[in-house]
Amino acid sequence: MSRVPGFLAIVFALLYGALPTHAAQGAALERGTAITDPATLRELDGGKFRLDRLLLPERSVDIPLANSELFAMPSMAPVRRAIDGEFDRYIARHRASLPKETIGVGDGFDFQLFDRTQLYSAETRFVLAGIVNRMDRTYAAEASCGEIRLIYRLTRANKAAGVDASPPRLPMTLNLVLKAKGEGVAITCSEIASRWLAAPLGGTLSAGGGPLDLIGHKNIDRIETNLQIAHAPKSSVRDFRTDYLLKVFRYDRDARLFAESPMENQIDRARLLADDGLKREFRAWLLDPANLAAFDRGTVLIPEKFLASGAIAPTPVGFDPSDLEPEFGLVQGEGAAFSESDVVAALRKAVEGGVKLQNIRSLAGFERRLNDVTCSGCHQTRGIGGFHFPGVDWMADKPSNSTVVPASPHFFGEQIRRRDILVSLRDGKSPDYSRGFASRPQLRGSTELAGTNYYDGWGAHCYAHGKPAASNDASFRDWTCAEGLTCQAAGKISRIGMCFVKSR
């Protein structure tokens, strides 16, 4: 695991502390693309969008289903088995690679495991913490007009503290991914987009004609989970480290269960590097000009034969590409899937063939894109710990940081692009589904992000220019800072850094 320099840890703390200053702006950015209003979420969680009611629409009991009952459902049994298996493998790998460091549940261990008994407890349940419109993914699911994601946070009943106490939130989210348009529904993507863009906050969201009116059990596509599997406090031998387990379970409607599935674009690095034939096949596929063009735009869909069904995303990481694991090991070095000459030749061939590259103009750009198209790499970039959407804690007595800031800088930086796509869909135009790097969002002609930590303001990711100008990497040289700020590189090798006030 890479180590983060001390000043970067301070930067992370400062960055998160600065986020609430953008809360008002965030509300404007989210319009049509997400629901984070606490009162609205409370109302929706008390209705048909409570998790157990979506999974079991025939259930009429008003009392929410506890997790002990949720994971006892036949449809959820494969989810529990898969998560338990990942825990067993994680512990075994840890004991093999770090035999001198203890691992277990509780403060007495070097690596403190998440207590699985809480996940399957009669005193915990998943609470609706946010809704995210992902119609910007219509390119991946055209027939269903993209996706709507209901994000639930694991919460424990705080009985000992009394009925009125705030239930503590646990470090896990469950993302119920639904098709924006169900099969056989007589509505167009344009009409759905129009509903989202026109919807005010409040009860009309799920009423007739509202954006959530057509959403229900029949729309379920999959479950995505993000769980803090272990935490290691700072010690004499390492900086603090937290590992997040990411999994996906696709709904098999015929069998009525959630089956463990390959994760979109989560490259199975270990299997590729161990199989020369598979490695050659992957290299040829990704460097094909048509696939390379989609890769550059951020819309590539890598075939499942190259993908993993689970991933561990460590945090924090620095800004040097070598810190971003695990995908960067596929490029350069002995036995790697891609050499520098492979990438340079493929980029040249694509340009000569008329491909207009938007992001990847160098080997470093190829490496960074290879990382941030994956689930684990994206969650390591501009996230809040290992999450991009911790969600609203509407059950809290007092506002917490996550109540004010429900999502990460990456999430807020994405809203301009997502809203632009919604407008195109509404107006019957062909959307531009391309996206920038996870570290640096597209502006789409808007000035809403200018001067903020999402784009070029204090705390934004940037590129430190050097001399001569030809030495500046073409993939990142446009990552400049707003007037009055300067880019301070995070490491000795990489020029990727953050925007800070110029020293006098």
pLDDT tens-place string over residues 260-294: 999 999 999 999 999 999 999 999 999 999 999 99
**pLDDT for 60:** 75
Nearest to 221 by CA among 174, 178, 264, 255: 178
Residue 376 lies in a domain: no
When pLDDT is averaged across residues 332-336 and rounded to a whole number, the result is: 82
DSSP state of 26: H
Residue 149 lies in a domain: yes
Nearest to 121 by CA among 176, 65, 50: 65
At residue 387, does pLDDT exceed 80?
yes
Do 409 and 476 sit in the same domain of this protein? no
Residue 91 lies in a domain: yes
Do 430 and 479 sit in the same domain of this protein? no
Residue 372 lies in a domain: no
Nearest to 300 by CA among 434, 148, 144: 434
At residue 241, does pLDDT exceed 70?
yes
Residue 146 lies in a domain: yes
In order, the DSSP letters of 297-358 are: HT-----GGGB-SEEEEEE---SSGGGSTTGGGGBSSTT-SB-HHHHHHHHHHHHHTT---S
Q: Of 395, 413, 440, which residue is a domain's last?
A: 440
Confidence of residue 19 (pLDDT cuts 50, 70, 90): very low
Do 436 and 463 sit in the same domain of this protein? no
- For 90, the domain range is 27-263+382-440
Number of domains into which the chain is organized: 2
**pLDDT for 8:** 41
At residue 326, does pLDDT exceed 80?
no
Residue 337 lies in a domain: no
Percent of the chain with pLDDT over 90: 67
Q: What is the pLDDT of residues 483-495, one digit of tens each?
A: 999 999 877 678 9
Do 87 and 183 sit in the same domain of this protein? yes
**pLDDT for 44:** 92
**pLDDT for 445:** 87
Do 386 and 467 sit in the same domain of this protein? no
Instruction: Output the CA torsion 402→403→405→406 (10° steps).
Output: 70
Do 426 and 489 sit in the same domain of this protein? no
**pLDDT for 330:** 85
Do 470 and 431 sit in the same domain of this protein? no
Percent of the chain with pLDDT over 70: 87
Q: Could you tell me which residues come within 8 angstroms of residue 151 by beta carbon, excluding any fewer than 6 positions away?
A: 128, 129, 130, 131, 132, 173, 174, 175, 176, 389, 391
Q: What is the pLDDT of residues 46-63, one digit of tens each?
A: 998 999 999 998 887 788
Q: What is the pLDDT of residues 189-220, one digit of tens each?
A: 999 999 999 987 555 677 778 899 989 999 99
Residue 276 lies in a domain: no
Do 249 and 136 sit in the same domain of this protein? yes
Report residue 206 as tokens: 């799920």
Whole-angstrom Cα distance, residue 74 to residue 158? 28
**pLDDT for 154:** 96
Q: Which residues pair with 155 in a beta bridge?
A: 125, 169
Do 204 and 245 sit in the same domain of this protein? yes
Computed over every residue of the chain, the mean pLDDT equals 87
When pLDDT is averaged across residues 420-447 and rounded to a whole number, the result is: 95
Do 434 and 460 sit in the same domain of this protein? no
Do 435 and 491 sit in the same domain of this protein? no
Max alpha carbon distance in the chain (Å)? 70
Do 467 and 415 sit in the same domain of this protein? no
Return the sign of the alpha-carbon dihedral for residues 158, 163, 165, 167.
positive
Helix (H, G, I), strand (E, B) or coil at 418: helix
Residue 6 lies in a domain: no
